Amino acid sequence: METMRLSKRLAEMGICSRREADVYIEKGWVKVNGVAAVLGQKVSPDDLIVVERQALTAQAHRVTILLNKPVGYVSGQAENGYQPAVVLIRPENHWHGDQSKVNFSRDHLKGLAPAGRLDIDSVGLLVLTQDGRVAKEIIGENSAVEKEYLVRVEGELDSEGLRLLNHGLALDGQALQPAKVWWQNDDQLRFILREGKKRQIRRMCELVGLRVVGLKRIRIGNIMLGDLPTGQWRYLSQDENFS
């Protein structure tokens, strides 16, 4: 009978991420057939897996934060003297229009990580989360969550170039998934992607003779940037989801 690691099974069940599963197992919060699980344990489809209430409670307290990232901040770890976007998650930058009713706590900064990237010179919606399930939903290998961008460009683009942007380009030796690209106005394109290779939009535009002079992410799945001001953030509400 085919087996797999317990942490992978829990992730496939949508209970938590693999990393979170290992933490739960270490804490004794996961049982297999009534016996406390151990790290690295393998399970079969017939095994009964039970996750204790403590794990579900810990998960319920994890937060996801939506930030309107300004230019000059990197998405993840500090690099080349630039600060990570997480330094903006301070009480004074908490948007007054936040409807989540979540009160800020320093604990919300622990384990907070970006679910996807925005280049240092790009702006707009950046998701920071403590919840591995959210990260997997947005940037997991099989994610189908759309990301939408407004892209200001310079250069000439004919109908063939626009066709290639929609479907016909390759990066790093791999064909890109079909995109949706159209003119928003005279100098701005609108992009909808389902993947997120490094600097993908800028590189796509270079391949058809365009230069990106401004890039703003305005949507991830069902979540719009909306009226969230630049440099401010809000919590994802319990009744909101990305897909």
Q: Average of pLDDT values for 188-213?
A: 96
Read off the pTM.
0.84
| Domains of the chain by start residue, with CATH | 4-60 (3.10.290.10), 64-142+223-235 (3.30.70.580), 147-220 (3.30.2350.10)
Q: Which residues of 116-132 are buried (b: 16+ CB within 10 A; e: fewer)?
A: bbbbeebbbbbbbbbbb
pLDDT tens track for 105-151 = 999 998 899 999 999 999 999 999 999 889 989 998 888 899 999 99
Residue 240's pLDDT is: 96
119 is known as an active-site residue: yes
Q: For the chain, percent helix, then strand, then coil, each to nearest 5?
A: 25, 30, 45
Residue 47's pLDDT is: 93
149 DSSP 8-state letter: E
Q: Is the dihedral of CA 206, 207, 210, 215 positive or negative?
A: negative
Whole-angstrom distance, CA of residue 178 vs CA of residue 168:
8
Burial of 194 (0-12, 13-18, 19+ CB in 10 A): middle
Residue 78 has pLDDT above 80, yes or no: no
Annotated catalytic residue: which of 119, 131, 158, 187?
119
Q: Is the dihedral of CA 35, 36, 42, 44 positive or negative?
A: positive
Lowest mean pLDDT among 95-99, 141-145, 206-210: 141-145
pLDDT tens track for 18-46 = 888 998 999 999 999 999 999 999 999 99
Whole-angstrom distance, CA of residue 183 vs CA of residue 158:
11
Average pLDDT, whole number, for the chain? 93
- Give me the residue label for tokens 């947005």: 138
Residue 56 has pLDDT above 80, yes or no: no
